[in-house]
Structure 1
Amino acid sequence: MSDTAAAGRRIFTGVEASGKFPIEYRFTHARNGNRRLMVVFANLNAPEEYGWGNGVLDRTRSNILWIRDKFDGVNSYYLCKEMDFSLEESVIGLISRVMHALDLTPADCIMFGSSKGGTAALYYGLKYGFRDIVASVPQFEIGSFVKEHMKPTARFMMGEGVPEHNVGIIDALLPETVWRSGNRDANIYLISSPQDEQYRQHVEPYLGHFRDYSNFNFIYNDSPLIAGHGKVTLRNLPVMLGLANLLVDGVTPRIGTIRNGYEEPDRGTAGIDDYLRSTSRLKDTFAAPQVHAPVQGGTTPGRTVLFAGSAPGAVRVSLWENGKFLTSPQVGPDGNWSWDPGRDWAVGKHVVRLFAVDPAGFHSPRTEVVFTVPPRSPAAAAPASGGPPSAGLPFPGRTPTALPAPVVSVPAPGQQVSGPVIGLMGYAQGAAHVGFTEDGMPLGMTPVAPDGGWSWESGWSWMDGQHTVECYAVDPNGTESPRSAVTFGVVNALDGLTPGYRPA
Structure 2
Amino acid sequence: MSEAAQKKRRVFTGVDSSGAVPVEYRFSHARGGNRHLVVVLASRHAKSGYGWADGHLDALRSNILWVRDLVDGTNTYHLCRGMDFSLEQSVAGLVSNVMNALALSTDQVTVFGTSEGGSAALFFGLKYGFRNIVAGSPQFLIGSRVRESNPEAARMMMGEPTDHNVRLLDSVLPDLVGSGANPSANVYLFTSPRDDQYQRQVEPFIGHFRGRENFNFVYNESPLITDAGKVTRHNLPTLMGLLTLLVDGIAPRIGMLRNGHEDPKRDASAIDAFLRQTAQVRGDSFPKPVVRTPSPEERLPANAVRFTGTAVGAVRVSFWEDGAYRGAAPVAPDGTWVWEHTSPWAKGRHVIRLFAADANNYQSKRVEVAFVAGEHAYAATPEYEATPQPSMPAQQLALTVTAPAAHQQLTGPAVGFAGYAPGAVRVDFHEGGAALGACEVRPDGSWMWEPGWPWNDGDHYVEAIAVDAVGNVSPWAAVPFTKLGAYPVPAQGVYFNSAY
Report how far residue 5 of structure 1 moved.
7.8
Secondary structure at 2:88 match in 1: helix
Report how far residue 129 of structure 1 moved.
0.6
Matches of residues 63-462 of structure 1 in structure 2 within 5 Å? 63-160=63-160, 162-254=161-253, 272-275=488-491, 278-281=494-497
Report how far residue 281 of structure 1 moved.
5.0
Secondary structure at 2:7 match in 1: coil
CA contact (8 A) 1:40 1:65 kept: yes
Matched to 1:168, the amino acid is: R
Change (3 A) 1:119 1:6: farther
Distance 2:6 2:237 in 1: 20
Report how far residue 174 of structure 1 moved.
0.4
Secondary structure at 2:235 match in 1: helix
Report how far residue 239 of structure 1 moved.
1.8
Matched to 1:191, the amino acid is: F
Distance 1:239 1:44 in 2: 23
Secondary structure at 2:489 match in 1: helix
Question: Cα deviation per residue 1:128-172 (whole Å; 9 max; x = unaligned)?
Answer: 111101100000000000000000000000013x11100000000
Distance 1:54 1:6 in 2: 16
Which 4+ runs in 1 deviate beyond 2 A? 4-8, 268-278
Question: Cα deviation per residue 1:254-277 (whole Å; 9 max; x = unaligned)?
Answer: 39xxxxxxxxxxxx9878433499
Question: Cα deviation per residue 1:343-372 (whole Å; 9 max; x = unaligned)?
Answer: xxxxxxxxxxxxxxxxxxxxxxxxxxxxxx
Question: Cα deviation per residue 1:380-432 (whole Å; 9 max; x = unaligned)?
Answer: xxxxxxxxxxxxxxxxxxxxxxxxxxxxxxxxxxxxxxxxxxxxxxxxxxxxx
Q: Which residue of 2 aligns with 1:11?
A: 11
Distance 2:178 2:159 in 1: 27
Distance 1:163 1:95 in 2: 31
Question: Cα deviation per residue 1:81-111 (whole Å; 9 max; x = unaligned)?
Answer: 0000000010000000101111111100001
Change (3 A) 1:151 1:222: same
Distance 1:278 1:154 in 2: 29
Secondary structure at 2:78 match in 1: coil
Distance 1:214 1:198 in 2: 27
Q: Which residue of 2 aligns with 1:62?
A: 62
Distance 1:76 1:124 in 2: 14
Matched to 2:489, the amino acid is: D
CA contact (8 A) 1:98 1:272 kept: no
Q: Which residue of 1 aligns with 2:47?
A: 47
Change (3 A) 1:75 1:233: same
Matched to 2:151, the amino acid is: K
Report how far residue 237 of structure 1 moved.
2.4
Distance 1:224 1:140 in 2: 24
CA contact (8 A) 1:106 1:131 kept: yes
Q: Which residue of 2 aligns with 1:356?
A: none
Q: Which residue of 2 aligns with 1:443?
A: none
Report how far residue 60 of structure 1 moved.
0.7
CA contact (8 A) 1:102 1:271 kept: no
CA contact (8 A) 2:17 2:493 kept: no
List runs of 5+ in structure 2 lacking aligned partners.
Answer: 255-483
Report how far residue 230 of structure 1 moved.
1.1
CA contact (8 A) 1:6 1:55 kept: no
* TM-score, normalised via structure 2 length: 0.51
Distance 1:22 1:225 in 2: 41
Distance 2:144 2:485 in 1: 43
Distance 2:66 2:5 in 1: 14
Distance 1:55 1:43 in 2: 16
Distance 1:140 1:225 in 2: 25
Report how far residue 125 of structure 1 moved.
0.3
Rg larger in structure: 2
CA contact (8 A) 1:38 1:65 kept: yes
Distance 1:136 1:8 in 2: 25
Change (3 A) 1:107 1:269: farther
CA contact (8 A) 1:14 1:276 kept: no
Secondary structure at 1:113 match in 2: strand
Distance 1:97 1:70 in 2: 20
CA contact (8 A) 1:127 1:181 kept: no
Report how far residue 19 of structure 1 moved.
0.9
RMSD of aligned Cα (Å): 2.2
Q: Which residue of 2 aligns with 1:461?
A: none
CA contact (8 A) 1:147 1:154 kept: yes
Distance 2:112 2:492 in 1: 21
Distance 2:84 2:43 in 1: 22
Matched to 2:54, the amino acid is: N
CA contact (8 A) 2:216 2:253 kept: no
CA contact (8 A) 1:5 1:55 kept: no
Distance 1:242 1:33 in 2: 20
Distance 1:63 1:119 in 2: 22
Change (3 A) 1:5 1:211: farther
Distance 1:143 1:244 in 2: 29
Distance 1:246 1:54 in 2: 21
Change (3 A) 1:278 1:209: closer
Report how far residue 43 of structure 1 moved.
2.1
Change (3 A) 1:199 1:95: same
* TM-score, normalised via structure 1 length: 0.51
Secondary structure at 2:19 match in 1: coil
Distance 2:30 2:181 in 1: 30
CA contact (8 A) 1:140 1:174 kept: yes
Change (3 A) 1:89 1:272: farther
Report how far residue 278 of structure 1 moved.
4.9
Alignment: residue pair count = 268
Question: Cα deviation per residue 1:178-236 (whole Å; 9 max; x = unaligned)?
Answer: 01133111100000000111110111000000001110000001101111111222222
CA contact (8 A) 2:61 2:247 kept: yes
